[in-house]
Structure 1
Amino acid sequence: MEIKDSISADFVDGTFVSCIERNRKSPSSVIVIGGGISGIAAARILHNASFEVLLLESRDRIGGRIHTDYSFGCPVDMGASWQVHASLLHGVCNENPLAPLIRRLGLPLYRTSGDNSVLYDHDLESYMLFDMDGHQVPQQMAIEVGDAFKRILKETEKVRDEHSHDMSVLQAILIVLDRHPELRQEGLAHEVLQWYICRMEAWFAADVDMISLKNWDEASHMIHLFQFIEHVLSGGHGLMVQGYYPVIKALAKDIDIRLNHRVTRVASGCGEVMITVEDGRNFVADAAIITVPIGVLKANLIEFEPKLPEWKVAAISDLGVGNENKIALRFDKVFWPNVELLGTVAPRSYACGYFLNLHKATGHPVLVYMAAGRFAYDLEKQSDESAVNFVMLQLKKMFPDASEPVQYLFSRWGTDPDSLGCYSYDLVGKPTDVYDRLRAPVGNLFFGGEAVSMENQGSVHGAYSSGVTAAENCRRHLVERRGSLEKIQLVSFRDEILEATVPLQISRM
């Protein structure tokens, strides 16, 4: 077997004491670090191309920041939960790369937004807002403030074009409001505007004063909010009714996956890599694909020998990592209206909040409270019971007759040692080549994950595509290194499932 378990070989001054003799007729071997969708996609591609593949995952489950929990008796995604049907990029409509697999598996989607939704993943027609005293916000006011918010965001484009230096999106919004006092909102309307900003912060998993104006809407770097407002991904967004786990399970079929294998060291030399896990065991292969979350890389929880080059270290440092948490609540009965989103407005975006109504999409009496940015971190400082009590206070202001939940879940992505955050975002002043450097291999080390996906950063399909790209680059490197003249036909799982003809099951109740 090419991937060697418990190898006793060691490194001296960055090189193997003795290189292991290879059987040139045996397949090349690759270790994939990280069992999220990016790592599993990379392993799937290489496995189908007849490489020897081993996937090491630190958790006791696969999926990473995709985590479908079944303890409620129904699937609840505590991490990623939405699926983009198709992407409108650079004027060309490209189908989401995961859509064929979702079709083949027969997984239904519940459409939560169509085109031109300022809320990105929801439509204005299916939500209710309440002030902090529990009084409902007039729907017409919410619509008018939403229109003003779109105008404010549009005006920030001019601010960006006028300044050579970068600034936060918040700074740009303040400049716009100074120039256009008619866009300022007062009283309750101001609180509604803060709620829209809160929803925007949830998309980036970061506070608006931390998000780069220069880079947040560059089409060459990511799918940005302006594109969602102006064009919106064709087909809108859909909630995975049965959760994302069936997708993960299908991709992982027949792959050698070792759970509870936390990688602590990655050493490369003599054309090989040796991976050390927490209990001291070593695994040796021809190459490695690293798909751990950007938060783990930023925390230096994995030692590299030799050390990663400065340009790679700087790229990791130059990207931000945000946080968004979910508190899922299961009730014995439904006491809320049949809308998709319930929101609480406040004088500051930090104090705004919202609940996703899973009952409308799935038929189960479940509400999911969402918190992003600094508030998400602050919420994690509380016990589960205190956090649930805080959320229930908001809910009882909206609905005084609200019953207590019979079960609850709290995600805690920010302090989870296997993620240390939710997903990446663009920091103010970020260099424009950061994604190129993040993606670039270092010798026989390749990198995947949502953070290295230049145009689909922070998304499931972006993470998936980055894993596919890393696997194809790794395969090409190993074939060239072996000097083989025979061509290895890459039969990717992605290509196989494109043959599926079953249409996507999309509903809107």
Structure 2
Amino acid sequence: MDINCDDDLLSSDFFDDIYSSRVGKQHGALPSVIVIGGGISGIAAARMLQNASFKVILLESQDRIGGRICTDYSFGCPVDMGASWLHGLCNENPLSQVISCLGLTLYRTSGEDSVLYDHDLESLEETDKVRNEHSDDMSVRQAISLVLDRHPELRQGGLAYEVLQWYICRMEAWFAADADTISLKAWDQEKVLSGGHGLMVQGYDPVIKFLSKDLDIRLNHRVKRIVNGYKKVVVTVEDGRNFVADAAIITVPLGVLKANLIEFKPKLPEWKLSAISDLGVGNENKIALRFDNVFWPNVEFLGVVAPTSYSCGYFLNLHKATGHPVLVYMAAGALAYDLEKLSDEAATNFVMLQLKRMFPDASEPVQYLVSRWGSDPNILGCYSYDAVGNSDDIYDRLREPLGNLFFGGEAVSLDHQGSVHGAYSAGIMAAENCQKHLMQRVGSLERIPVLASRDKIVEVPVPLQISRL
């Protein structure tokens, strides 16, 4: 049954009439939830609520699930064109049990195993003093400039200066943003789980398939409007169809919210809109190259130094981790956006020029893949980061529910924004809050056989399989 949405939707009587006509008001009807967004956060929320005996529909705008997790198999091997690492190889990582249960292998990467490696440069250490001396926030790039003005002896020229730019390039890749937009106040305050960083050797796709099994997922359902009433939520998709439920969990990427691609009725309050507007969203793209032969050294990363961080670059060597002759060039910030202006062939040619600066006799790739996360209308960026001047409560405002609307996604993670496990845990948190809200409305837990909210999706205590110690 289709519904014509207008301002009358805000009345509780309208919702009662529509809902009773669609699902009836029989005693003991299961609470219903619409999850918007089929990334790992939305899938985790839907999985938990379905396990708790809720009626759940997941709406995804694309013809696939996974969001910014996208494992490509066209090379004859898995290549993650989006998320590819598990940050924190430890039991405290909420994804460790899922990965262990599936028997997936992680390859522990280290910045030291590279042609260029991360340097603990004194000029960057000095930025902490600048932060302590200034109450107002500034960018990391501005802080470095102040340090070099204050300590001329730290100014380096030639190759040493270019190494500093490469280090900044790697930092920009971590945030998917340029150093002149990253907050000095927050850039090194992230809570990182122990155990190092593990590359998903088989890709993240098996995790997505496992978590999404038997869920009611509607692909090619682009949400255009969300009406949040007193008792019900009406979600309108692009073709005009409407879905009605007791509550909705919104896990679309931050870039989509920033672009106002979804209309909210009533409009989101100013405190929510300002949080969405102010938080930074970065962009990082990958150009994956498959070769017939391996002509590069057996290291994890291959770095290209240059006079500016924009001109620097680095390749991830998948051959060392997986045995396949694949290099992945990674570009963040302004460079990532500029590469999206090129055709796939032109972007690959640009990357090959970088590679031939290191290996003049490098062979041409037999296949290539190019990501475009910044211009993908379903994504519009990679993940959130602390921009200059962010308020201390910005993440609290982002995750704060609004009536029957709850918010998930990596940007609302409690401590691990920008990571897969952060997105996963944010989905679980949104589902728990939604469940509590609806159970309080029902007023009797005995009416619905709801599982404990902290029940594990998997409970098999299997250690992580790490291929490099």
TM tier, shorter chain?
over 0.9
Letter in 2 for 1:29: S
Partner of 1:133: none
Partner of 1:351: 311
Distance (whole Å) between structure 2 residues aligned to residue 356 and residue 381 of structure 1: 23
Partner of 1:181: 152
Q: Percent of pairs identical after alignment?
A: 72
| 1:190 partnered with 2:187 | no
Contact 1:320 1:424 in 2 (8 A): yes
Task: State the Cα deviation string for residues 131-166 of structure 1 (Å, max 9, x = none).
Answer: xxxxxxxxxxx67xx132xx3333222211111111
Q: CA deviation at 1:18?
A: 5.2
Match of 1:69 among 44, 69, 72: 72
| 1:460 partnered with 2:457 | no
| 1:169 partnered with 2:140 | yes
Distance (whole Å) between structure 2 residues aligned to residue 502 and residue 493 of structure 1: 19
| 1:420 partnered with 2:355 | no
Q: 1:51 to 1:485 in 2, by over 3 A?
A: closer
TM-score, structure 2 length as denominator?
A: 0.95
Q: CA deviation at 1:394?
A: 1.4
Match of 2:104 among 92, 104, 107: 107
Q: Map 1:234-383; keep pairs closer than 5 Å.
A: 234-383=194-343
| 1:127 partnered with 2:114 | yes
Distance (whole Å) between structure 2 residues aligned to residue 460 and residue 260 of structure 1: 23
Contact 1:267 1:305 in 2 (8 A): yes
Partner of 2:58: 55
Match of 2:41 among 21, 38, 45: 38
SS at match of 2:63: coil
Q: 1:488 to 1:156 in 2, by over 3 A?
A: farther
SS at match of 1:495: coil
Q: 1:175 to 1:488 in 2, by over 3 A?
A: farther
Q: CA deviation at 1:491?
A: 4.5
Match of 2:442 among 482, 488, 501: 482
Aligned length: 461
Q: CA deviation at 1:12?
A: 1.4
SS at match of 2:225: strand
More deviation, 482-491/39-48: 482-491
SS at match of 2:331: strand
Distance (whole Å) between structure 2 residues aligned to residue 69 and residue 420 of structure 1: 20
Letter in 2 for 1:128: V
Gaps of 5+ in 2: none
Task: State the Cα deviation string for residues 316-349 of structure 1 (Å, max 9, x = none).
Answer: 0110111000000111111111111111000000
Distance (whole Å) between structure 1 residues aligned to residue 165 and residue 145 of structure 2: 13
Distance (whole Å) between structure 2 residues aligned to residue 503 and residue 198 of structure 1: 34
Q: CA deviation at 1:9?
A: 6.8
SS at match of 1:95: coil
Q: 1:364 to 1:277 in 2, by over 3 A?
A: same
Contact 1:45 1:491 in 2 (8 A): no
TM-score, structure 1 length as denominator?
A: 0.87
Distance (whole Å) between structure 2 residues aligned to residue 37 and residue 251 of structure 1: 8
Task: State the Cα deviation string for residues 180-238 of structure 1 (Å, max 9, x = none).
Answer: 333322111100110000000000000000011122234xxx43xxxx6xxxx421111
Q: 1:396 to 1:86 in 2, by over 3 A?
A: closer
Task: State the Cα deviation string for residues 25-50 of structure 1 (Å, max 9, x = none).
Answer: 11100000000000000001100000
Distance (whole Å) between structure 1 residues aligned to residue 455 and residue 367 of structure 2: 38
Task: State the Cα deviation string for residues 74-123 of structure 1 (Å, max 9, x = none).
Answer: 10000000012347xxxxxx61000011000000001103xxxxxxxxx3
Partner of 1:136: none
Distance (whole Å) between structure 1 residues aligned to residue 268 and residue 5 of structure 2: 21
Contact 2:89 2:198 in 1 (8 A): no
SS at match of 2:456: helix
Q: 1:34 to 1:68 in 2, by over 3 A?
A: same
CA RMSD of aligned residues (A): 1.8
Letter in 2 for 1:68: T
Distance (whole Å) between structure 1 residues aligned to residue 266 and residue 337 of structure 2: 34
SS at match of 2:199: strand
Gaps of 5+ in 1: 88-93, 114-122, 130-141
Q: CA deviation at 1:489?
A: 4.1
Letter in 2 for 1:243: G
Q: CA deviation at 1:400?
A: 1.8
Partner of 1:500: 460
Contact 1:44 1:492 in 2 (8 A): no
Q: 1:494 to 1:240 in 2, by over 3 A?
A: farther
Q: 1:412 to 1:261 in 2, by over 3 A?
A: same
